[in-house]
Amino acid sequence: MKKIMAILLAGSLLIIAAGFEQTPNETRFRPTEFGNLFLKGEYEKIYNQTSDEFKAQVPLNDFMHVSGEFNKGVSKYRLESTILLSGNKQYIWTDQSKTKGISVIVQADRTIAGLNLLPLEPHSQTDKYYTKNKYTMPVKNRWLVYWGGTNVLLNYHYAYESQRYAYDLLQMKKGQTYKGNPLKNENYYAFGQQVAAPLEGTVIKTVDGLKDNVPGELNPDHPEGNYVVIKHKNGEYSILAHFMKNSIKVREGEKVKTGQILGKCGNSGNSTEAHIHFQVSSSPDIMTGKSIRIQFENGKEPVRGEYTRK
C-alpha cells in the first residue's frame, strides 16, 4: 500500500508518495537539473515527471501558480545536499539569499514523489560566530550526517537557538540504517558503536541509567537520554546525547583527551533510532544554553547527506 501525504500551505507545497523502486528512465530529466528547470519556469515539464499520486492531489494550474509565486525574486538555486532515503533520494536547493528552499524526493526511475517549497529564516547574526576551539567529530569511523547545516531543510535543529548548530550522526548502508527487524536496536548499524570526546576537557555531567527505546518510540521526559557534557577551554561545552544504557565509561570530574572513548551509541531519550546528537554550547544545559556553530579541526563543515570522513 502506497502512503501519500499532501500539504498545501501559503508558500509551502509538500507531496510525498512512497512507492516501489524502479529502474531509471533515461528519457526524463536528471534530478540534478531540477533547480535550473524550476528557475526557468519549466513547471509543466517538472509536473509531468511527478507521480500519479502527486497529480491526483495537486492540479497542474495550482502547481504552476504556487511555483510561480515562490520563484519571484530568485536569480539562482544552489544544490546544497543529496541523501539516500530508503531507496529514494532527496535533493535540497536554496536560492541566492538562502531565504527559500526546495526539497525534492526522487524515486529510482526519476519520478518526483515529494516536493517541498519552503520559506527559510536565516539566522545571520549567530551563523557568523564559530566556536573558539577546534573540534573533531565524536566518532571513530565513517558516519552519516543525517541532520546538520544552516537551514531547517538541512537541519531541523536550526529553528531552535539552544540546538541550532547540532548534528545528528548515524550509520547507513545502501540507504538503510538497519538490517533485519527494525524493532530491534541491535539491528541498527549505529547501535553499540563507540563515541569519543570531540576535544580534551573535563567531564562535568553524565547520565547513564536510562533504557534504550524500542525503535520508533520516544522518551520525552528525558529528551537527552543518556548523555555526557564536557567543559572545554574558552567557556565552551560539548554535549553528546542518546548513549546506550550503562555504556558510559567516564565519570564526572574526569579529564578526557581528544578521541578518548566516552561510551556507546544508543537509542535513549527523544530518539526513534540509534544515533548520536552532538553540539557545542555556551552552557552545560542543553535547554538554556546557546548552540555555537562548530569550527572543526579539519576545516570542513559537513551538512545533511555528507559523511564524517571519506
Average pLDDT rounded to a whole number, residues 261-269? 99
- The whole-number pLDDT of residue 26 equals 64
The CA distances from residue 162 to 44, 71, 155, 220, 293, in Å, are 42, 32, 13, 17, 11
The pLDDT > 90 percentage for the chain reads 88
pLDDT tens profile 22-58: 455 668 999 999 999 999 999 999 999 999 999 999 9
Question: Between 12 and 166, whose confidence is greater?
Answer: 166
- The whole-number pLDDT of residue 17 equals 42
Average pLDDT rounded to a whole number, residues 241-256? 99
Residue 85 — very low, low, confident or very high, per pLDDT cuts 50/70/90?
confident
- The whole-number pLDDT of residue 45 equals 97
- The whole-number pLDDT of residue 87 equals 86
- The whole-number pLDDT of residue 86 equals 82
Residue 303 has pLDDT above 80, yes or no: yes
Residue 159 has pLDDT above 80, yes or no: yes
* Amino acid letter for position 154: L
Average pLDDT rounded to a whole number, residues 105-130? 97
- Cell numbers describing residue 97: 539569499
Average pLDDT rounded to a whole number, residues 57-78? 97
Average pLDDT over the chain, rounded to an integer: 92
Average pLDDT rounded to a whole number, residues 94-113? 97
Residue 282 has pLDDT above 90, yes or no: yes
Residue 111 has pLDDT above 80, yes or no: yes
pLDDT tens profile 4-31: 223 333 334 444 444 444 455 668 999 9
For each of the domains in the chain, give its residue range(s) and CATH number, in order of start.
3-119 (3.10.450), 125-296 (2.70.70.10)
pLDDT tens profile 190-233: 999 999 999 999 999 999 999 999 999 999 999 999 999 999 99
* Amino acid letter for position 151: N
Total-model pTM: 0.90
- The whole-number pLDDT of residue 190 equals 98
- The whole-number pLDDT of residue 36 equals 98
